[in-house]
Structures are given as structure tokens and as C-alpha cells.
Amino acid sequence: MEISQIVWLALFIILLSVEASTSNLVTCWFAVGSLFALVISFISPQLYWLQMMTFAIVSLLALALFKPILVKKLSEKNEKVRDVFDGEIGIVTTEPEGSNKIAYVKIHDVLWKAKTDDEIKKGDEVYVIEQDGNLLTVKKVEEKYSSKNDENKEV
């Protein structure tokens, strides 16, 4: 195995590792370029300039062509997930702790970690205003809108 083949293979592994740890959708395209350069190194092991050009051109083309498409697809998927919990009502199951007022909220029999700027306590009803990963941002349901309030029920 030529030294250039070892270099391209090592670069490919390193770039994929960096992408896996950061998920920034940049280094993966350079990993694709290094894979193409590795193939060229098997075909023409002494043509280093061709390997470098292949790496640069393929990496930049992949970055320019595929990153915008992938980012758009991923953001559409995240929007669908966010919409699922917007406005959902839950019950606070623990007292808020810490400066961020982190508590657990039960929504559809599932416990979620939630933060709020409101004064809440265990047993209060809250509604979801935002979701960031597995952390919900919630607001306290006002007493007159609470599902516990019998006055809101039609007779």
C-alpha cells in the first residue's frame, strides 16, 4: 500500500469521526472527496497532483450541491416534530429546580424535561410553547382556562 493511499484512508476516517462528533454537515463532504482521492491513488499512485485536485473538486462540489438539500430536508423534518407538541397541555410532576426552573411535565403519559419563566409548582397545568430536542419550554395555564376549572364546562 502506497503512502498516499494510507494518507487518504486516514483522512477519510478522521473526517468521518469529526463529522460524527459535530454533525455540522461540512466535514462529511470532505470525507467524500478523500474517498474519491483514495480511488484515484489506487489507479495512479504517483500522480499526487491529480489526487489533490480530485479531493478539492469533489469535496467542494459535494458541499455546494448536497449540503443545502440535506439541510432543507432535515429542517423540514424538525419542523414537523416541533409542531407535534406546540400547545399541548401537560401536568407538572416535580417541583422546579435550579436557576433555569427545570421540572418534569407529563404529556400523554410521557415525562418530559421542561423549563419555564413562570412560577409553577407540582400539579399545575402547563402548555408547550417550544421544543428543543428533549427539552420543552412551557407556560402556566391561567386558572380561567384550566381544564380543572368547572366554570368553563358548558351546561
Q: Which amino acid, one-letter code, is at 28?
A: C
List the chain domain ranges: 3-83, 86-141
Other C-beta atoms closer than 10 Å to the C-beta of 5 total 17
Other C-beta atoms closer than 10 Å to the C-beta of 30 total 23
Q: Which fold has domain 86-141?
A: OB fold (Dihydrolipoamide Acetyltransferase, E2P) (2.40.50)
| pLDDT tens for the chain, residues 1 to 155 | 889 999 999 999 999 999 888 877 889 999 999 999 999 999 999 999 999 999 999 999 999 999 888 888 776 655 555 556 778 899 999 988 887 778 999 988 888 899 988 888 899 999 998 887 778 889 998 865 555 554 444 43
Question: What sign does the dihedral 100-101-103-106 (CA atoms) show?
Answer: negative
Helix segments in 86-126, DSSP class H:
none
With contact defined as beta carbons under 8 Å apart, do 21 and 50 qualify?
no
Q: Residues with Cβ < 8 Å from 148, sequence gap 6 or more?
A: 125
pTM of the model: 0.50
Q: In 3D, which of 134, 26, 4, 46 has the Cα closest to residue 82? A: 134
Task: For 51, list phi and psi in degrees, rounded to 5.
Answer: -65, -45
